[in-house]
Structure 1
Amino acid sequence: MTSMFTSAVSRPGPGGGNQPRLRVRILSDLVVAAGVLAVFGFVAYLLPGVDAPIGPQGIPSHVTTDVWDLPYYAMRSVFRMFIALFFSLAFTFLYGLAAARSRLMGKVLVPLLDILQSVPILGFLSATITIWLVIFPHSMLGVEAASIFAIFTSQAWNMAFSFYRSLLSEPKELDEAARSLRLTRWQRFWKLDVPSSMTPLLWNCMMSVGGGWFFLTASEMISVNNKTYALPGLGSFVAQASSNEELGKVGLAIVTMVIVVLLIDFLLWKPLTAWAEKFRITQSESAEPKKSLVLTVIRQSHLDDLLGRAFSPLGELLDRAGRVFGRTGARWESTGTRRKLGDWIFDIVLGILLVLGLAELVLSIKRSVGFAEMGQVFGLGGLTFLRVALLTAVCSIVWVPIGALIGMNPKVSRFMQPIVQVLASFPANFIFPFVTLWFVAWGIDINWGSILLMALGTQWYILFNVIAGASAIPDDLREMGSSFQLTGWLKWKRLILPAVFGSWCTGGITAAGGAWNASIVAEIVSYGRTELVGKGLGAYITQVTERGDGPRIILGVAIMSFFVVVANRVFWAPLQNLANRRYSLN
């Protein structure tokens, strides 16, 4: 259909060449206007349910499993997902800039990001559900806010990691150009920082939506503190149908979810990935640029002109406001090497606060649960750590070559992108009822089977980041490789693996963090009255959260955070430094 639009533009009509172009542009305007109205209608249709008052029986603890409700449930889930994605994107820009551009803040924010990504969403929910209900009393908006916040916690961290790494690996030539042009901080952000990070950030946005689908059941059927709060959505529908042992309805929910994912890919992700091609750092145009029918229609309409005129005054106002913070000058504080007195004082104060905080945490654990149980939970954490390490290694071996092939071949990318989207966005816990029956029938130990379940939700972090890294390889380097006749293993060794090494580091660190998070739903699976419980930290946190055991929730989350931070500092941080030092386009 794209070729139809192109031929209509180029074919002259009886009245000259302008008339067909005008017809196509008017048609495109109508299609775009209909799409915009549909989005506003979609939001207006859902808002009354979001802010519905709580009935006399309180917040519902279950939802209906009427299949005719599936379209409405799907819309509610998608609405939550993209509200959470909006806040995740805002968080990514603010957090990533602060961590990358300030040496002192980076010392706090980067380790804190390690901790945040390790805290399971049940940990966030148990700590915040009461707060949201107090902020929005007598309204379902409180539970909706808690659900959106839970989805946010499954989306934001990998996006922040990706943006942070993109800022650190900006080419020096572009940094020098920004300083020579005396761009303001605001101008640099939109002219250099965001464009240079667009490809990996976009693929991580896709992965974040996939991560949101994975934790949809836990975020829509919230079970904390011996209470259950149910919201209309695909996740809660599957949880209720699974509890009722209605496998047919679980299958219909899966089909609905696949249709929704394909529509999102066609209407949003395909246009965005095609549009992001213009931000690739290269001196030659791609031989096979990505295409999208939706993007073609938008470009042939007047939407670009209307948006430009509408947001131009706002852009000028923000640009003037940004001048208050001065010009870009040097590459902010992140490249400084000399340690000043302030740095020493900051490190000493930070170290004292860290020691005092850890001491208070240990004493609190001793008073509430005792050191004996802490040792047992450390043992459970060790078992989950072995599962995380094994699946990260296996997924890297499998998906790095596949991701590189997809990212470097536009034809393969056009074919594989929707398939990868469905696989990545497919919430693996939707099939957990079937998996439970399979494990029971074949006698598979959940302690081993949980590795497969964790991988189903976290392997895509590696694949998507490697695809993004391979897509961003400049055409000049590819042509140089062809000129030097690099083939086979030599091409992988000299070109492909060094080019995607930094992206693999980002994908690996987020996949490992996601695997820890996924353990809370993978180490305990159930169908009806059948429940399989594995030995691990994820199962421990799930059980104590459902009981509302505050001290043990803190203990489980603290130990999970300890494992993640130590692994990131000991293993992933040196690899990321190596990627920034040797394998970035500087």
Structure 2
Amino acid sequence: MKLEKTVVNRKLGVLDVIIFLVIISILYLAIAPGIKGNVSTSGIQVSTDVSNLPIYVLKSVGRMTGAYILSVIFTLIYGYIAAHNEKAEKVMVPILDILQSIPVLSFLPAVVLGLIAVFPSHNIGLELSSIILIFTGQAWNMTFSFYHSIKILPKDLEEASGVFGLNKWQKFKKLEVPFAVIGLVWNSMMSWSGGWFFLMACEMFTLKGKDFRLEGIGSFLQTAATQGDKKALLWGIAALIFVIVILDQLVWKPVTVWADKFKMELTESGEAPHSFVLTLLRRSVIIEFLIKKIYEPIAENLNDAVDRFVVKLGSKEKIEEKGIGFIIRLIVRILIYGILLYSGFNAFKLLMQLSKNEWGRILPSVGYSFLRVVAAQVIALIWTVPVGVAIGMNKKVANVLQPIIQVVASIPATALFPVILIYFMNKLGGLNIASVILMLMGTQWYILFNVIAGAMAIPEDLKAATKTFGINGWKKWKVLILPSIFPYLLTGMVTATGGCWNASIVSEYVNFGGKTMSTIGLGALISEATEKGNYPLLLIATIIMCIVVVGVNKTLWKRLYVLSEEKFKIEL
């Protein structure tokens, strides 16, 4: 481990002002379409007939897959640019903080009304809206993981890539992506689980008093919960669990076994993980034919094309900022600043419509939600670190617990929330306790999966060294385990914190059995404002949530990220 002291000096500057304007502008542009826009329903009735579950499940999985593909593309592009361009990094990372802190419901007006306006006579707009909304619940933790993996890439590997003359594309595909694979795979599973978590909100929601619905397992569960149909609700949960188990065995288990080959180590590990499905696929003649005759030729041609493009791009001399290029850049900057100022001004005008009573609700709501988030995070941290390390470092434990955890983590807490509500409804604490449980159930997996990835990434030679020197117990945790998993744990904590704030919108304001139940909290304000079309309240509540999340990220998590890059970076 490379041990260095890190000094972090941070002062408010022009960049912070610009970022604050970006926050307000993004939020205003997100809700602006709904302020004066006409809202119409999709006209789809979601049935709670159990016979519809198979087709509903297929439709939901299709939307999830589309959102996941978008998330992977976004992750690789955004994470790469942020990690390699220092100027862009100063803006892109804070913007990523902003994006992960914006609740799904705050994206609704822009996404839904915008796409419905583009496709007014078709249901395509609503389908695309659902996919994009699911994407907003999947992409951010994957992007953080990929970005941070590149930032902690061992220097000797980077130097080796330079010695071998790898261009940017070759370095990307042969070094950076393989190094990030383990973290990406585990965060992909978490992203998929995150998609399930918000599926109910993305397939069936209320905007400005009007209902929007799509056929899917999420809307099925939401409809059953709203109608108080316990039988349909249980059937829906059972169908969802069945699908999750199937996907785990057919997709995620083989992928995690495949990813093990990217583990960075100097000595051979012991027993390799095994997947029956992956073994069958590797032995399949059809799969081998498809790979050799279709995949490999296409991949090779694409790779050659990208290689030539990168070489050609790299051979060009850097053009100085003068003449027409300078003018174009100046115009673009003026347009961007103009949009920011215009959006900020209109957002300010919108906020002036808030009543004193609404302003008075903000601070208590922030306080209560903050306490719930902290409580959920502390509880999650207590159990996820030891369990995650046990799974990541012990193959026998992993073989037993990993499949169970993958399945349990994929079950959206929102699907089980009605059952939890029934239990806590008449007990002390009521929705306050239930909302903390929902936050915990929905976000603890971010930490657990990242800890598992970190523990799995510990090189076998370091494990062997600690064993040779007789380092065990707490000392082993202190000198090997905690320093090794710290960067991964940090990524999990950052995304889990943002996830907790997002989860507040579905945990603090609930429609169940034809009744609306709510508690004091920022998430409840956002849900209430979205349902009633109160856009000034929606804007201020979302702005405050973003400021809180970004503020914590900047004052706490960012400092710890710098510390992890400097002090807890493995060098071979």
TM-score range, shorter chain: 0.7 to 0.9
Residue matched to 1:420: 405
Residue matched to 1:288: 271
Task: Return closer, same or farther for 1:290/1:360 CA change in 2, 3 Å cut-off.
Answer: same
Residue matched to 1:268: 251
- 1:299, distance to aligned residue in structure 2 (A): 2.1
- 1:311, distance to aligned residue in structure 2 (A): 2.3
Residue matched to 1:342: none
- 1:179, distance to aligned residue in structure 2 (A): 1.1
> Which amino acid in 2 is paired with 1:206?
M
For residues 313 and 242 of structure 2, the distance between their equivalents in structure 1, rounded to whole angstroms, comes to 47
Residue matched to 2:301: 313
Taking structure 2 as the reference length, the TM-score comes to 0.85
Q: Residue deviations 1:522-550, cap 9 Å, x none?
A: 00223213432110000000001011122
Could you tell me whether the CA contact under 8 Å between 1:154 and 1:212 is conserved in 2?
Answer: yes
Residue matched to 1:323: 311
Q: Secondary structure at the match of 2:165?
A: coil
For residues 450 and 260 of structure 1, the distance between their equivalents in structure 2, rounded to whole angstroms, comes to 26
Residue matched to 1:110: 93
Residue matched to 2:144: 161
Task: Return closer, same or farther for 1:379/1:442 CA change in 2, 3 Å cut-off.
Answer: closer
> Which amino acid in 2 is paired with 1:96?
G
- 1:434, distance to aligned residue in structure 2 (A): 1.6
Residue matched to 1:35: none
* Residue 541 of structure 1 pairs with residue 526 of structure 2: yes
The within-5 A match list for 1:196-207 is: 196-207=179-190
Q: Secondary structure at the match of 2:520?
A: coil
For residues 564 and 227 of structure 1, the distance between their equivalents in structure 2, rounded to whole angstroms, comes to 30
Residue matched to 1:504: 489
For residues 439 and 460 of structure 2, the distance between their equivalents in structure 1, rounded to whole angstroms, comes to 36
**Which structure 1 segments of 5+ residues have no match?**
1-56, 328-344
Q: Secondary structure at the match of 2:536?
A: helix
Task: Return closer, same or farther for 1:568/1:58 CA change in 2, 3 Å cut-off.
Answer: closer
- 1:366, distance to aligned residue in structure 2 (A): 4.6
* Residue 380 of structure 1 pairs with residue 368 of structure 2: no
- 1:224, distance to aligned residue in structure 2 (A): 1.2
Residue matched to 2:470: 485
For residues 363 and 262 of structure 1, the distance between their equivalents in structure 2, rounded to whole angstroms, comes to 48
The within-5 A match list for 1:412-451 is: 412-451=397-436
For residues 560 and 520 of structure 1, the distance between their equivalents in structure 2, rounded to whole angstroms, comes to 11
Task: Return closer, same or farther for 1:366/1:64 CA change in 2, 3 Å cut-off.
Answer: closer
Residue matched to 1:524: 509
For residues 526 and 443 of structure 1, the distance between their equivalents in structure 2, rounded to whole angstroms, comes to 20
For residues 357 and 339 of structure 2, the distance between their equivalents in structure 1, rounded to whole angstroms, comes to 24
* Residue 124 of structure 1 pairs with residue 107 of structure 2: yes
Could you tell me whether the CA contact under 8 Å between 1:199 and 1:279 is conserved in 2?
Answer: yes
Q: Secondary structure at the match of 1:398?
A: helix
Q: Secondary structure at the match of 1:368?
A: coil
**Which structure 2 segments of 5+ residues have no match?**
1-39, 316-329
Residue matched to 1:475: 460
- 1:443, distance to aligned residue in structure 2 (A): 4.0
The farther-off stretch of 434-443 and 220-229 is: 434-443
- 1:354, distance to aligned residue in structure 2 (A): 12
For residues 68 and 282 of structure 1, the distance between their equivalents in structure 2, rounded to whole angstroms, comes to 51
Taking structure 1 as the reference length, the TM-score comes to 0.83
Q: Secondary structure at the match of 1:223?
A: strand
Q: Secondary structure at the match of 1:525?
A: strand
- 1:300, distance to aligned residue in structure 2 (A): 2.3
Residue matched to 2:174: 191
For residues 563 and 359 of structure 2, the distance between their equivalents in structure 1, rounded to whole angstroms, comes to 35
1:258 alignment partner, one of 225, 235, 241: 241
Q: Residue deviations 1:409-458, cap 9 Å, x none?
A: 12222222221112111111112222222122334332233111111101
Could you tell me whether the CA contact under 8 Å between 1:432 and 1:525 is conserved in 2?
Answer: no
For residues 340 and 562 of structure 2, the distance between their equivalents in structure 1, rounded to whole angstroms, comes to 26
For residues 225 and 441 of structure 1, the distance between their equivalents in structure 2, rounded to whole angstroms, comes to 31
For residues 309 and 484 of structure 1, the distance between their equivalents in structure 2, rounded to whole angstroms, comes to 50
* Residue 91 of structure 1 pairs with residue 78 of structure 2: no
> Which amino acid in 2 is paired with 1:403?
G
The farther-off stretch of 84-93 and 135-144 is: 135-144
* Residue 231 of structure 1 pairs with residue 214 of structure 2: yes
Residue matched to 1:44: none
Q: Residue deviations 1:486-519, cap 9 Å, x none?
A: 1111111111111111111000000000000000
| RMSD, aligned α-carbons | 2.4
Q: Secondary structure at the match of 1:479?
A: helix
> Which amino acid in 2 is paired with 1:271?
P
* Residue 411 of structure 1 pairs with residue 396 of structure 2: yes
> Which amino acid in 2 is paired with 1:305?
K
1:216 alignment partner, one of 178, 196, 199: 199
Q: Secondary structure at the match of 1:311?
A: helix
Q: Secondary structure at the match of 1:493?
A: helix
* Residue 78 of structure 1 pairs with residue 79 of structure 2: no
For residues 147 and 358 of structure 1, the distance between their equivalents in structure 2, rounded to whole angstroms, comes to 25
Residue matched to 2:161: 178
- 1:115, distance to aligned residue in structure 2 (A): 0.7
For residues 190 and 157 of structure 1, the distance between their equivalents in structure 2, rounded to whole angstroms, comes to 21
Task: Return closer, same or farther for 1:551/1:242 CA change in 2, 3 Å cut-off.
Answer: same
For residues 312 and 376 of structure 2, the distance between their equivalents in structure 1, rounded to whole angstroms, comes to 49
> Which amino acid in 2 is paired with 1:257?
L
Between the two proteins, the alignment pairs up a number of residues equal to 512
- 1:252, distance to aligned residue in structure 2 (A): 1.0
> Which amino acid in 1 is paired with 2:116?
L
1:100 alignment partner, one of 83, 88, 95: 83
- 1:310, distance to aligned residue in structure 2 (A): 3.7
Task: Return closer, same or farther for 1:274/1:374 CA change in 2, 3 Å cut-off.
Answer: same
> Which amino acid in 1 is paired with 2:307?
D
> Which amino acid in 2 is paired with 1:103?
E
> Which amino acid in 2 is paired with 1:316?
D
Residue matched to 2:546: 561
For residues 421 and 509 of structure 2, the distance between their equivalents in structure 1, rounded to whole angstroms, comes to 10
For residues 339 and 148 of structure 2, the distance between their equivalents in structure 1, rounded to whole angstroms, comes to 25
Q: Secondary structure at the match of 1:137?
A: coil
Q: Secondary structure at the match of 2:206?
A: strand
Residue matched to 2:556: 571
Q: Secondary structure at the match of 1:441?
A: coil
Between 1 and 2, higher relative CO (CA 8 Å, sep ≥ 6) is seen in 2
Task: Return closer, same or farther for 1:371/1:95 CA change in 2, 3 Å cut-off.
Answer: farther
The within-5 A match list for 1:344-363 is: 360=345, 363=348
For residues 313 and 492 of structure 2, the distance between their equivalents in structure 1, rounded to whole angstroms, comes to 34
- 1:358, distance to aligned residue in structure 2 (A): 9.9
For residues 528 and 188 of structure 2, the distance between their equivalents in structure 1, rounded to whole angstroms, comes to 31
Residue matched to 1:41: none
Q: Percent identity?
A: 41
Q: Secondary structure at the match of 1:154?
A: coil
For residues 444 and 370 of structure 1, the distance between their equivalents in structure 2, rounded to whole angstroms, comes to 30
For residues 463 and 503 of structure 1, the distance between their equivalents in structure 2, rounded to whole angstroms, comes to 10
Residue matched to 2:230: 247
Task: Return closer, same or farther for 1:83/1:366 CA change in 2, 3 Å cut-off.
Answer: closer
Q: Secondary structure at the match of 1:228?
A: strand
Could you tell me whether the CA contact under 8 Å between 1:122 and 1:224 is conserved in 2?
Answer: no
Could you tell me whether the CA contact under 8 Å between 1:499 and 1:583 is conserved in 2?
Answer: yes
